[in-house]
Structure 1
Amino acid sequence: MFVGVSAICFDFGSASPIRALPISERLLLTGLIFAGTGSLIAISPLGRRSGAHLNPVVTLAFWTQRKVHWHDLLGYLVSQFAGAIAGTLAAHALWRNQAVSVSDGLTTPAAGVPDVLAVAVEAGMTACLLLAIFFMTSHHRTARFTPLLLWLLITVLVWQLAPVTGTSMNPARSLGPALIARNLGRYWIYVLGPLLGAATAAALFSLARHTEVLTTKLFHDPRYHSTMGTSLPTGRHHPRSGPAPTRAL
């Protein structure tokens, strides 16, 4: 959130050095930075341990696949919302007037966009995001490439659809700016939309009867023990130590 809001300040703030560029190009740059930061976190040591969900609906979606215990779900939700608020507050403190000029990265539907349409767009984008995660983490060979696909997917969604809803797909991402900017009036869109998207993704994924999510980690690394459910090896295997440990729920 700190890097993402900073990118919004740089690209769209009142003193932005690239204000002369077309909005489309600035949106593309913002998407690359915002999504790229999440992907880098996923392959970092911290991300390899936690799974780097960063998004409550991602953890909730894995929970629907019986890969997350309820107490892990609660812990992750608290952490995700707290992190989003802290990151936004840090960006606000650093950029001050620039942050205020972009409402601290607030996501809100564009003028003339009905709330129902905004909810539908957020639901559709979230469903696409989660289906990509589900299918990528359903195969041994593709699990490690999940951050790369998400970087490209989220970048395109921001580039093309941010003018409609702000492209949130994440209740925590929208809550931080809404609280700091004191603008919670339409925050419900960014809760309802992603939740509907998560339900849709889970329902569609269930139609793939012979496909199962293998891991909750967006980047699977056998050097790090998984904190949640996985069917992939999660520790270094030694011939004398028996099978690599796993934790399946």
Structure 2
Amino acid sequence: MGHRHLLAACAAELVGTAVLVGVGLSVVIVASAPHGPLASVLPSLAARRALTGGLFGAVGMTVTLSPVGRVSGAHLNPAVSFAFWCEGTLPGAALLGYVAAQLTGAVLGALPLLAFGSLGQQVAYGATMPGPAGIGPAYLGETLTTFVLVATVVVFVAHPRLRAWTPCTLPPMYGLMVWLEAAYSGTSTNPARSLGPAVVSGQWHAYWLYWAAPLTGSLLAVAARHLVPGLKELEVEVARVAHFEARRPWPPPRR
């Protein structure tokens, strides 16, 4: 991968992750705040969680399908980049650059959330923390939800007929996962998504979990793709979630 191509891809990851965090967590704040505008209209917390997850996934889908996503492949998540590195389609230098860009973008995208003031403070600006059940269930929840995310991505990307539909899986997937799991960990699945609001809110409780569990889930998802009959015959040929016609700047996969 040429240096200019890598820089352009990292810049796209920074911008895309900033938009995902800024817009996606704005949705989280408005929909989840106990005294927010949606609480009186939709009092069911479970329903608001499902709606929040679906809308967050829709933001991710939109960024993925945008021109920004075309430049970088729209990982927007260190766990996704790690999975592509494990699959042999993302070079180590690109992995480091992508993760640095994603983390920087997440912090920049979270700064405007401070404008929500007391409304944002009600939910720590969308920070993810273990729920009342504790660290163990939160770790398991993050591992399982990231496993679902990454397994879906690598299987769809590897399947010629499913590949184009990969971004469309995000809204229903996050709608369901947030509805089922948010009470345990907040359903991050993304170390960068958790970093941004942690910086602006100062809520760092068990932040390590939002690295350890997503990377565990990502590794398990890649391992499962290589072991499960019917999936191990597939091959992930490119480190992209969308715009598969734009193969550059990716090199041929390692054999």
TM score, norm. by length of structure 2: 0.85
| Whole-angstrom distance in 1 between the partners of 2:107 and 2:71 | 22
Partner of residue 39, structure 1: 61
Identity of aligned residues (%): 33
After TM superposition, give the deviation of residue 225 of structure 1 in Å: 4.3
Contact 2:143 2:216 in 1 (8 A): yes
1:197 aligns with 2:220: no
Determine which of 146, 154, 161 is the counterpart of 1:134. 154
Partner of residue 104, structure 1: 125
Deviates more, 1:56-65 or 1:116-125: 116-125
Partner of residue 115, structure 1: 135
1:179 aligns with 2:199: yes
| Whole-angstrom distance in 2 between the partners of 1:209 and 1:53 | 22
| Whole-angstrom distance in 2 between the partners of 1:15 and 1:210 | 51
Partner of residue 248, structure 1: 253
Partner of residue 159, structure 1: 179
| Whole-angstrom distance in 1 between the partners of 2:47 and 2:134 | 26
Structure 1 residues 142 and 74, CA gap change in structure 2 (3 angstroms): same
**Structure 1 unaligned spans of 5+:** 230-246
1:7 aligns with 2:27: yes
Partner of residue 234, structure 1: none
Deviates more, 1:4-13 or 1:131-140: 4-13
Letter in 2 for 1:145: W
After TM superposition, give the deviation of residue 15 of structure 1 in Å: 4.5
Structure 1 runs of 4+ with >2 Å offset? 12-15, 224-229
Partner of residue 169, structure 1: 189
Partner of residue 12, structure 2: none
SS of equivalent to 2:158: coil
After TM superposition, give the deviation of residue 184 of structure 1 in Å: 1.2
How many residues align? The count is: 229
TM score, norm. by length of structure 1: 0.87
| Whole-angstrom distance in 2 between the partners of 1:182 and 1:123 | 24
Q: Which has the higher helix share?
A: 2
Determine which of 24, 38, 46 is the counterpart of 1:18. 38
| Whole-angstrom distance in 1 between the partners of 2:173 and 2:33 | 25
Structure 1 residues 159 and 226, CA gap change in structure 2 (3 angstroms): farther
| Whole-angstrom distance in 2 between the partners of 1:144 and 1:51 | 13
| Whole-angstrom distance in 1 between the partners of 2:29 and 2:136 | 28
Contact 2:189 2:210 in 1 (8 A): yes
| Whole-angstrom distance in 2 between the partners of 1:227 and 1:95 | 38
Letter in 1 for 2:215: L
| Whole-angstrom distance in 1 between the partners of 2:178 and 2:187 | 6
SS of equivalent to 1:137: helix
After TM superposition, give the deviation of residue 185 of structure 1 in Å: 2.3
After TM superposition, give the deviation of residue 216 of structure 1 in Å: 1.4
| Whole-angstrom distance in 2 between the partners of 1:9 and 1:131 | 28
